[in-house]
């Protein structure tokens, strides 16, 4: 995993991912940041580093279905804070934190389908570190604020805005948008969401920039 640099805030004695996994009985680590900052790739690297006792449960699994976004008139803002089932996400975090005696199942967002798929991620009782990542983990507004309260540790991943926008445009192209559409989305809806997320960095335990930023 690339080395972190430029941390602007750290809780005294804040544990790394391995130490957090051993703090037991189960710890929840959240990685927040703007769209395109590299949250998913960093989260995957952490889970791989810790091993079988860790599991990745992304916030994106709680996207509202496309048909529901259309019904609500929010399809053109897909990815905004009000296009997620935040109450469902918070409920899942509560279940994960209390360490139930049987497996808990979480949804995943399929970019190839542009839809969430229920029951796709198993979190068995022996998992001791759950890593979740998403744009809005640190929002102070109800009910998002409950997510932050349930996390044992929260990191904010920062990245140069120009690089982040280029990544987003490339991602949108890879999933079928034209170059013009991809750039418009990256500088429009994505950038509005990024401005909202940027204001939540001070609610993290650790703010990091990576020496070799991940691409996801």
Domain annotation for the chain: domains and CATH numbers: 18-208 (3.40.50.300)
Give the list of residues 6+ apart from residue 174 with CB closer than 8 angstroms, or none: none
State how far the Cα of 37 lies from the Cα of 160, in Å rounded to an integer: 8
Residue identified by tokens 């990091």 is 208
Per the CB < 8 A criterion, the answer to whether 43 and 31 are in contact is yes
What is the pTM (predicted TM-score) of this model? 0.82
What residues contact 98, with CB distance under 8 A and at least 6 apart?
none
Rg, the chain, Cα only: 17
Nearest Cα to 57, choosing from 39, 69, 38? 39
Other beta carbons within 10 angstroms of residue 102's beta carbon come to: 7
Tens-binned pLDDT, residue by residue, of the chain (216 aa) = 433 433 444 433 334 788 888 887 899 999 999 888 889 889 999 999 999 999 999 999 999 999 999 999 999 888 899 999 999 999 999 999 999 999 999 999 998 888 999 999 999 999 999 999 999 999 999 999 999 999 999 999 987 767 776 777 666 566 666 766 656 555 556 777 888 898 999 999 999 876 544 455
Quote the DSSP letter at residue 175.
T
Strand, coil or helix: 114: coil
* Calpha distance 140→142 (Å, rounded): 7
Would you state the pLDDT for residue 12? Answer: 31
Structure tokens at 91: 């409920």
């Amino acid at each position: 995993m690339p080395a972190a640099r430029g941390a602007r805030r750290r809780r005294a004695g804040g544990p790394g991912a391995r130490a957090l996994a051993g703090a037991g009985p189960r710890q929840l680590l959240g990685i927040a940041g703007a769209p395109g900052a590299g949250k998913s790739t960093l989260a995957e690297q952490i889970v791989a580093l810790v091993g079988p006792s860790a599991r990745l449960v992304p916030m994106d699994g709680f996207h509202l279905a496309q048909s529901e976004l259309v019904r609500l008139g929010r399809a053109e803002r897909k990815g905004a804070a009000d296009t997620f089932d935040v109450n469902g996400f918070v409920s899942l975090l509560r279940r994960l934190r209390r360490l139930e005696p049987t497996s808990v199942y979480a949804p995943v967002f399929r970019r190839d389908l542009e839809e969430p798929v229920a029951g796709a991620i198993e979190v068995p009782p022996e998992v001791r570190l759950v890593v979740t990542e998403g744009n809005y983990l640190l929002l102070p507004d109800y009910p998002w604020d409950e997510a932050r309260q349930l996390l044992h540790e929260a990191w904010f991943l920062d990245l140069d805005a120009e690089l982040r926008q280029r990544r987003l445009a490339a991602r949108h192209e890879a999933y079928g948008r034209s170059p013009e559409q991809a750039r418009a989305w990256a500088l429009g809806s994505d950038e509005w969401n990024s401005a909202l997320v940027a204001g939540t960095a001070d609610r993290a335990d650790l703010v990091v920039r990576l020496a070799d930023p991940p691409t996801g």
